[in-house]
Structures are given as structure tokens and as C-alpha cells.
Amino acid sequence: MPQPEIHQDEQGVVLVAKIVPGSSKTALAGVLDHMVKIKVAAPPEKGKANECLVAFLARRLGVRKNAIHILTGQTNPIKHVRIDGICARTCQEKLGLG
């Protein structure tokens, strides 16, 4: 399995994610072209899919929702997501990718 792009800096990590909105359930779907693929149950309207993504990552990674920021891709399925207060290794392990 290819490794996802997860970059660590002094604040936390930034990962590249491919989001598939409108899925039957919210779940991690593996790695696609070095992006973490995540299916979200929310529709892609009025930011609902982004909210669902943030809630899923917060729960899965054990961080607060306000520690997760969508840097790019607010209206695009490919997003750069910053997660504060976590290291790349822990992020990969908690997502089941490492």
C-alpha cells in the first residue's frame, strides 16, 4: 500500500485527503494516489461534508475539533488538512495506515 502524504511541522501535521461525500457511512477508505481517502455520509452542500470530515478526524485521532483546519479545498474533494498537536507517526497509526 502506498504511504499517504503526511507532513509534520512544529504545530502538528498536514495531510492530503480525498473526500467522497454522500457515502452510506463515514469511514476511512485507504490510500489513493498518496492521499488519505475518506468517505463521508454527509452531502457536499453548505459545508456539511467538511463538518463531517472534521468530526470524523477528531474522533479517530483523539483531538479536539478546533485542532483540525481545512487549509485548501473547502469546495473541492481534494483537501489539505492541518491537525494541530499530533505527530505524523501517531496520525498514521491512529488512521491505521502505518
For the stretch 61-86, pLDDT in tens is 999 999 999 999 999 999 999 999 99
Burial class (CB within 10 angstroms; exposed 0-12, middle 13-18, buried 19+) of 47: middle
Question: pLDDT of 33-64, one tens digit each?
Answer: 999 999 999 999 999 999 999 999 999 999 99
Identify the helix (H) or strand (E) that includes residue 6: strand 6-8
Q: What local confidence, expressed as pLDDT, does residue 4 receive?
A: 87
Per the CB < 8 A criterion, the answer to whether 13 and 81 are in contact is no
CA distances from 13 to 37, 44, 94 (A): 17, 25, 13
Domains, the chain, in order of start with CATH, read 6-94 (3.30.1200.10)
CB atoms within 10 A of CB 33: 11
Q: What local confidence, expressed as pLDDT, does residue 2 receive?
A: 75
**For the whole model, what pTM was predicted?**
0.94
